Amino acid sequence: MDREILNELTVALQKGDAIKTQKFVKIALKKGYEPEQILTEGLVSSMNTIAEKFKKKQIFVPDLLLATRAMNAGIFILKPKLKKQLFSPIGKVLIGTIEGDLHDIGKNLVKVFLERAGFEVIDLGNDVPVNYFIEAIKKFKPQILGLSASLTTTMYGMRDVIKALEKEGLRENLLIVVGGVPITESFATGIGADIYDMDGTKVADKAKEKLKCSNF
C-alpha cells in the first residue's frame, strides 16, 4: 500500500490545516488503511515530530495549538471507526489529567485505545481537581481510573488522588492506571498504582488483562 496519503496527512497536520487533515484521514480510510494505523502513523507520529520541533524552538506555542486542533479534527473522523460496536462494554474507565496539567494529548490517545479495546470511557478532561475525581467515581462507579500527568509539578497529584480514594474507601475494587512523560515504573508502583506502561498504546491491553484477573 502506498504511504503517500499518510505523508500528505502528516504535512497537513504539521501545517495545522484541520480541513485538509480531515480530508486525508477520509481518503486514507477509503483506501483501506486501518484506523489505528492512521492514528499512530499519521496523527500521533506527526504530533511527535511537532513536539521535537517545539523542543528545538523551531516552532512555538501557537503552532502547537493549531496542530492540536488539526489532530482533534482528524480524530473526530476516525473515532466512529475506532470504536468497537459492542452492545455491552467490557468495563468502564474514568480518565483525566491531574489538576494543573493542561497536556491532554497522551490521555486522549490512551482513551482512543481503551475505547478500541471495548471499554466505555468517561473523560473528565484536563486540569481535574482531586474532588472532581472523587465525585465522578462515586457517580459513575468505574472499574478503572486513568490518571495522566506530564509535568514533575503535577505528577504528585496522582498520589494525592490515590490517597483521597483510600480515605473515602473507594480504592478497593478499582484499578488505577497512570501515565505521562515523567512517570516511571517505580514511581507508579511507589504511589500505589496498578498499571503503567511507557507506551500509551499498550495500556489498553494491560488494563484488559488486569481486569480479567481481578473479578470486579
Partner 1 sequence: MTLSEKNLKNEIYDFKKFYHLIKAFTISTNISCKAFNLNGEKIASFKGPESDTSFCKLIQKLNQEKNYCMQSYIYGGQQSEKLGEAYIYFCPYGLVNWTVPVIKENKVRCFLTAGPVLMHEVDNLLVENAVKMCPMLDKRRKEIKSKLSKIIVVDTIRVKYLADLLLKLAKIIMAEDAVDLNNKHELNIFNAHLVENINEIKRTYTLQGKNNKISNFQEKEANLITKVTSGDKEGAKKSLNQFLGYIFFYNADNIEIIKCKVIELMIRLLQVVTEVGVDYNVVSGIKYKYLKNLINAGDFNEISKNILEVLDYLIDCLTPLINVKNRNTILIAINYIRNNYHKDINLEEVAAQVGLHPVNLSKMFKKETGKKYTDYLNEVRIEASKNLLLRDDLPLVQVAFSVGFNDQSYFSKIFKKIEGVSPNKWRVLQKEQKNFN
Per CB under 8 A, residues contacting partner 1 are: 16-19, 22, 55, 59-63, 65-66, 69, 73, 100, 102, 150-153, 155-156, 159, 181-182, 184, 186-187, 189-190, 198
Least Å distance between CB 103 and partner 1? 10
Nearer to partner 1, 37 or 152 (CB): 152
Nearer to partner 1, 152 or 173 (CB): 152
Least Å distance between CB 192 and partner 1? 10
Alpha helices in the chain (DSSP H): 4-14, 18-30, 35-37, 45-55, 61-82, 105-116, 130-140, 156-168, 185-190, 203-214
Tell me the backbone φ, ψ of residue 30, rounded to 5 degrees: -60, -40
Cell of 83: 470504536
Q: How far apart are CA 139 and CA 107, in angstroms?
A: 21
Nearer to partner 1, 20 or 116 (CB): 20
Cell of 54: 517545539
Cell of 148: 495522566
Nearer to partner 1, 108 or 143 (CB): 108
* DSSP states along 19-63: HHHHHHHHHHHHTT--HHHIIIIIIIHHHHHHHHHHHTTSS-HHH
Nearer to partner 1, 140 or 156 (CB): 156
Least Å distance between CB 157 and partner 1? 10
Least Å distance between CB 68 and partner 1? 9
Nearer to partner 1, 36 or 63 (CB): 63
Least Å distance between CB 203 and partner 1? 15
Least Å distance between CB 12 and partner 1? 12
Query: What is the edge-to-edge ordering of all strands in the sheet holding 195-196?
Result: 119-123, 91-97, 144-148, 175-179, 195-196
Q: How far apart are CA 24 and CA 13, in angstroms?
A: 10
